[in-house]
Structure 1
Amino acid sequence: MKTLFMLLLFCHVASTVKHSLKYVLTATSGVTNIPEFVGLVMVDEVQLGYCDSNSKTAEPKQDWVRDLAKENPKHMEWYVQKCSSSQQVFRADIDGLKQRLNQTGGAHILQRMNGCEWDDETGEVIGFHQFGYDGEDFIVLDLQTLTWTAPRQQAFSTKLRWDADKARLEYEKYYYTHTCPVWLKEYVHYGRSFLQRTDLPSVSLLQKTPSSPVSCHATGFYPDRAMMYWRKDGEEHHEDLDHGEILPNHDGSFQISVDLILSSVAPEDWRRYDCVFHLSGVEDDIVTKLDKAQIRTNWVSPSEFPAGVTGVVVGLLLLPALCIAGLFIWRRNNNGE
């Protein structure tokens, strides 16, 4: 099992030279409290730009992207125009899909993700362009055959129509094999101090209650090519674990957690466990011993409250729920329900 882990780790490290540029566009119908259209630009899973149908403009999300926009105003103008035109196209597309699928009401979501990946060691470029509708793949471009594939039967007529548009297919091929990689390389070069940095995380042991799993939580690391696992007696442990996904933080860094379920761990065996965080490209791992004294928790036993305090605490705990209930009633009244 240790050999398998090292193989997986090697494969993960081997992918560190790959960079990606992704455009994620989302249109909604029948969904309240969010814009009808949202567009994101991502490089190496870091959000660079944002636009939506409410703001009607493109907004840089990183300081170095703002500097790039100042040096090249036409670059930002292109995004502003693209945001505006995409809103109109997506609004028409989602209305057309609802008619074709006989959907007269309800909430519906149309998404497009396109872009490219570039391996700066081998020079390999991979392009991608796909649509999803209501959480399922709808139609996907195959750049090898220059044809569209339709995972859903409802998209077959679209596939036939788009396959017949040879000029568009040739444009797609050129864009994803030439234009997109050029833009990606420019972003990676211009933002290299940010995108190619290495930040180690802070690692904590967290627990909700004494009977809850102990979560080994790392946050603030960059890049996202990281692994975290529990060890027992120095060997990787695979039982009674709950592995979390790597998630983005608002500042462009990442976080991950792995929970260890303690129900099968005797108190005297705690000292045999530790949590290991490995960041690709960094030689030394961060090792955190399973130590009760190091666990952070907000839980307090009711018996530890001074007399008269319990009622106050219960009231404070109920307050958010009451506020939410009040907000719900207020919305209902203002909607005339």
Structure 2
Amino acid sequence: MSHLGQYVNSIYDFFLFCPTVKHSLKTLYTVTSGFPNLPELMISVLVDNVQAGYCDSNKTISVNHDVWKKLFKDNPGLLDLCTEQCVEIQPKHFKSRLDRIMQHFNQTEGVHILQYMESCESDEQTGNTYLVEGGYDGEDFISFDVTKRKWTSQKPEADVIKQELEADKDRIEETVYLITQTSSVWLKLALNYGESFLLRTVPPSVSLLQKSPSSPVSCHATGFYPDRATMFWRKDGEELHEDVDHGEILPNHDGTFQMRVDLNISSVKPEDWRRYDCVFQLSGVEDDSVIRLDKAVIRTNWVPPSQVPAGAVIGVFVGLMLLSVCITGLFIWRKKKNNGSREIRRDVL
């Protein structure tokens, strides 16, 4: 058993929590090669898809909310343990794995990224479910089925790595233990400290946006929590499926979320606009947020070309460039399947 597993088990009996809704603990590992200004290893821990903490091999450690800061304050040995894992132990494991993958691809230099995600989700009805996935250079690479104790290559090039991992039976058993036992305990610990914070509900600000008179109308909700939400367009009270494009739920910098759903209005007659509305539903909130399709409430930057000042054009261009950089940085690798870790501990990939 790892030192972290022993530490967690020693405090397990003090924290018993029975979740009433789904909760998750995810750990995201990013290992880099060829980036002179980036740490070799970066680790983010998310509770219910909101970042709770971050550390990297350059000794940067941050805790993002008072409830998580209290967890470390009440358990002083925990910070030293996480620092040791993040700065000394885990970089060696992950760097070794990245070097092995680069060797397999005959890559001796250049920019390369290994990303790895572990997830533990708790549900009082279905119990705990676990997910382990790895990506390399922006593509799905390998995954681990905890129940079947089986590695699966997501592309033919990963077969050799899969065979190496499956040949080490002791490591497979350690992986299963760390995922099913240690991560579950850590999730319960996090929920005990952050119960009131995690069970809160924050309603959204909902608005209608449109880039130009001919583009789709986007129903945009932002600032809501938790991320268990749905949004859809209706016509005459019936949910629409055609001419509708659903966006993903994305995180905001303050720990809340945003989402959008677009409606193609090219075939909607002006006199029929009043028959359409957008509905936002948030888990734990009885009343829906509803906004009717109305030109008077649509927010847009569009004005006739002759009225667009040159400064405004430059401002919009610069804004879009910054937005593109932020989105690219956030989603260097986003797994192709929906949803899908645990706290800081030994590498299992």
Give the TM-score band, short-chain normalised. Answer: 0.7 to 0.9
Q: Is 180-189 or 79-88 further displaced after alignment?
A: 79-88
Query: What is residue 91 of structure 2 aligned with on the other side?
Result: 87
Distance 1:226 1:323 in 2: 28
* Correspondence for 1:46 among 44, 50, 61: 50
SS state of the match for residue 159, structure 2? helix
SS state of the match for residue 266, structure 2? helix
Matched, 1:64 2:60: no
Q: State how 1:24-173 maps to structure 2 within 5 Å.
A: 24-31=28-35, 34-54=38-58, 56-84=59-87, 85-119=89-123, 121-122=124-125, 124-173=127-176
Distance 1:174 1:86 in 2: 18
Distance 2:72 2:104 in 1: 41
* Per-residue CA distance 1:279-323 (angstroms, 9 max, x = gap): 1222211111111111122223355x5xxxx6xx21453378699
SS state of the match for residue 262, structure 1? coil
TM-score normalised by length of structure 2: 0.79
1:117 touches 1:126 (CA, 8 Å); kept in 2? yes
1:126 touches 1:176 (CA, 8 Å); kept in 2? no
Matched, 1:269 2:308: no
Mark the CA change 1:287 to 1:318 in structure 2 (over 3 Å): closer, same or farther.
Answer: closer
Task: State how many pairs are aligned.
Answer: 302
Matched, 1:314 2:314: no
Distance 1:263 1:322 in 2: 29
2:101 touches 2:161 (CA, 8 Å); kept in 1? no
Q: Which amino acid aligns with 1:180?
A: S
2:218 touches 2:263 (CA, 8 Å); kept in 1? yes
Deviation at 1:74, TM superposition (A): 1.7
Larger Rg: 1
SS state of the match for residue 53, structure 2? strand
Distance 2:212 2:116 in 1: 42
2:28 touches 2:115 (CA, 8 Å); kept in 1? yes
Matched, 1:280 2:295: no
SS state of the match for residue 115, structure 2? strand
Deviation at 1:114, TM superposition (A): 1.5
Q: Which amino acid aligns with 1:26?
A: T
Query: What is residue 206 of structure 2 aligned with on the other side?
Result: 203
1:50 touches 1:59 (CA, 8 Å); kept in 2? yes
Distance 1:196 1:245 in 2: 22
1:16 touches 1:225 (CA, 8 Å); kept in 2? no
- In structure 2, runs of 5+ residues without a counterpart are 1-18, 322-349
2:142 touches 2:152 (CA, 8 Å); kept in 1? yes
Q: Which amino acid aligns with 1:212?
A: S
* Per-residue CA distance 1:35-87 (angstroms, 9 max, x = gap): 44321101111111112344x23211122111211111222222212211222
Deviation at 1:89, TM superposition (A): 2.5
Bigger share in helix: 1
1:57 touches 1:83 (CA, 8 Å); kept in 2? no
> Aligned-pair RMSD on alpha carbons?
2.6
Mark the CA change 1:213 to 1:98 in structure 2 (over 3 Å): closer, same or farther.
Answer: same
Matched, 1:228 2:224: no
SS state of the match for residue 109, structure 1? strand
Mark the CA change 1:112 to 1:322 in structure 2 (over 3 Å): closer, same or farther.
Answer: closer
Query: What is residue 21 of structure 2 aligned with on the other side?
Result: 17
2:33 touches 2:111 (CA, 8 Å); kept in 1? yes
Distance 1:22 1:79 in 2: 15
Deviation at 1:324, TM superposition (A): 11
Q: Is 224-233 or 26-35 further displaced after alignment?
A: 26-35
Q: Which amino acid aligns with 2:297?
A: Q
TM-score normalised by length of structure 1: 0.81
Distance 2:117 2:196 in 1: 27
